[in-house]
Structure 1
Amino acid sequence: MTIKKIHLLIVFFAFQTLFGQDSFIESKKTAGYKGDFIPELQSTKDGFSFLVLGDFGRAGEYYQKEVAKQLGNAALMLDSEFIVSVGDNFYPNGVASVYDEHWKASFNDVYTHPALYIDWYVALGNHDHRGSIQAQIDYSDISRRWNMPATYYSRTFELEDGKKLLLVVMDTNPFIPGYQNNELKYPRLKDQDAELQKQWLIETLDTDDKAVTWKVVVGHHPLYSGGKRKKSQDTIDFEKQFADVFDTYKVDAYICGHEHDLQVIRPKGRYTTQFLSGSGSETRPTGEREGTIFAAAEPGFMSFTLNGKTMLIQSIKAHDNSSEILHSIELKKD
């Protein structure tokens, strides 16, 4: 157990003592066990872990609070380094300013588990674009954990074995043609230079750092879906714009949301695996398409644990104070 995890445990005990929370329960191996730990949640040797949440900001309604509790438990168990949000952080119309009540109702008052006071790397969804994008950027200077330095950005993390993870966060909204002619909903999109962002994306992925073993891109809109937007023109257009780019630059994982479910898809002949984690609060029916590895219409999130050789991704259901690993998949390096 790391020093960091020991500190988190001490804080967690203190919160229980002060606020009368349920007793700390030891991890169980029994599937379906209802408690404060997630059964069978796994890590890799010398693992570097992060969690992925999407489409969550609903003032604690739907399943948001249940998901938040299990997200905290997973962060503690995996000693997570950070959390990724794939966008639609605030429904239905983003935030108006850094003083908007949504910051309290949909973020600070919901994600209260001590283990969630780590860095959140945040992408923008279409609902966020209906409000002030600048407010979400500026909130990075107010909140210790909220990180959005720009509408798109990248971070590089060193793993314990000396290898590196390149995390690239896109703003996918300027690439959705249907949004461009809707100034009522998306008044600021006309100011975004999509081609400049795409050029930046390619230059960032085309790194000459030989230690970069894993490349992960984060965006809101999916390349593929078996859900509501399976045949959506927006999805078809986005695939045409980026599927080949991601394959060319050996992007290992594309992480997204927009659909309110959990999906893992890698079409035949593709290098990049898509991980869709958009059920941070509301869910809707899903389904399959060519290349579907997993799909579930359940509230939850995903965990990513990696070292220089393997990346383990687990899809976690969170509901009614219970949790369950619905699916696990491992990506490997030679």
Structure 2
Amino acid sequence: MKQISLTGFLVLLCLQVNIAQTTQKYPKADISFLVIGDFGRQGEYHQKEVAQQMSLTGTEADIDFIITTGDNIYPKGVASPMDPIWKSSFEDIYLGHSLHVNWYPVLGNHDYAGNPQAEIEYSQISRRWNMPARYYSKTYKLSDGSQLLIAFLDTSPFELGYYQDEDEPFRTNVASQDTSAQKKWFTDLMSKSNAQWKIAVGHHPLVTSGPRKDRKNHVANSWQALMEKVGVDFYLAGHEHHLEYNQLSPKLHHMISGAGSKITALKSTEKAKFAQSANGFAAFFIQPKVLEFQFVDESGKTLFSQQIKK
């Protein structure tokens, strides 16, 4: 039998430990996905660096899809499905193989400042951009036969301040939407579902530690009580350019993932379980009885992680 030196044995042992640590960085899950928001700035403000780390995390975590929390293209969305900014702010930035999965976006206020319908129509051009309507849902089957239900919302029409915006096209885009119809759709969807996990995604947060902390929150007034009533487990938002986690009630958890490019300073964090002004994104890992998420910065460091059990 070939002999191995003590030094060689220690090297092999270290390699095995490192491999184990690498493979255990992200938990195994039935469904895993990334969440990014407020990102499309033609690669600037660390957008490229975040995208590169998303690719690495996507590979290691074996992600199934990517969710965006809106403000997909700055400064004023897109003009059409053929707008060149799609290439410079999306296609040429998110290049990694693991990022060529389905992307499920929602619209933000900056998207409304352009042609929001064009972002829906881009789904017919891009093989990974999947936005069938301004609000929609996706259902996934978990290993025990239970389900994960995700509702993608269009929250800009619920922000009353937008109806007095100086930009006339922006006002028209917002005012053209039927908010009552959307809330009825959401209520019916969630009330009739017996999904094990119910997640909602929108652009505007219900709470924030960011610059808008003390502003009147019309979106929260419209949605928070309803989400609690119909059993939403997690609400994912952007709009504020940082990473944050709050637990709003024993049932309803809340995240801001809006740090895909330009970040802003925090105002006050006294009510947040975690809040940091850092470029990055969130990674979710869902099993029938356990939901785990992590905030990952552009260098790959896990800033915060949390498990929620049922």
In the superposition, the TM-score normalised over structure 1's length comes to 0.84
Amino acid at match of 2:179: A
| Deviation at residue 266 of structure 1 after TM alignment | 1.4
Please tell me the root mean square deviation across aligned C-alpha atoms, in Å. 2.1
Structure 2 gaps of 5+ residues are 1-15
**Following the alignment from structure 2 to structure 1, what is the Cα–Cα distance between the partners of residues 235 and 114?**
26
| Deviation at residue 181 of structure 1 after TM alignment | 2.1
Pair 1:186 & 2:171 matched: yes
Amino acid at match of 1:205: M
Partner in structure 2 of residue 43 of structure 1:
27
Partner in structure 2 of residue 260 of structure 1:
241
Pair 1:76 & 2:59 matched: yes
Contact 1:163 1:307 (C-alpha < 8 Å) held by counterparts: no
Amino acid at match of 2:107: L
Pair 1:87 & 2:70 matched: yes
Partner in structure 1 of residue 95 of structure 2:
112
| Deviation at residue 241 of structure 1 after TM alignment | 1.4
1:285 to 252, 265, 287: 265
Q: Which has the higher helix share?
A: 2
Pair 1:78–1:189, CA change in 2 (3 A): same
Q: Which 4+ residue blocks in structure 1 deviate beyond 3 angstroms?
A: 26-31, 287-291
Partner deviation per Cα, 1:132-165 (whole Å, 9 max, x = no partner): 1111111101111001100000010112222211
**Following the alignment from structure 1 to structure 2, what is the Cα–Cα distance between the partners of residues 173 and 147?**
19
Decide which structure has the larger Cα Rg and report it: 2
| Deviation at residue 246 of structure 1 after TM alignment | 0.9
Amino acid at match of 1:189: V
| Deviation at residue 123 of structure 1 after TM alignment | 0.3
Contact 2:269 2:275 (C-alpha < 8 Å) held by counterparts: no
Pair 1:202 & 2:187 matched: yes
Partner in structure 2 of residue 164 of structure 1:
147
Partner in structure 1 of residue 228 of structure 2:
247
Partner in structure 2 of residue 274 of structure 1:
254
Amino acid at match of 1:329: Q
| Deviation at residue 207 of structure 1 after TM alignment | 2.0
Partner in structure 2 of residue 4 of structure 1:
none
Q: State percent identity of aligned pairs.
A: 40
Structure 1 gaps of 5+ residues are 1-25, 32-36
Amino acid at match of 1:187: T
**Following the alignment from structure 2 to structure 1, what is the Cα–Cα distance between the partners of residues 56 and 197?**
26
**Following the alignment from structure 1 to structure 2, what is the Cα–Cα distance between the partners of residues 71 and 112?**
10
Partner in structure 1 of residue 125 of structure 2:
142
Partner deviation per Cα, 1:5-50 (whole Å, 9 max, x = no partner): xxxxxxxxxxxxxxxxxxxxx995899xxxxx7x963214x43101
In the superposition, the TM-score normalised over structure 2's length comes to 0.90
**Which stretch of structure 1 is more off in the superposition, 56-65 or 185-194?**
185-194
Pair 1:113–1:202, CA change in 2 (3 A): same
Contact 2:57 2:300 (C-alpha < 8 Å) held by counterparts: no
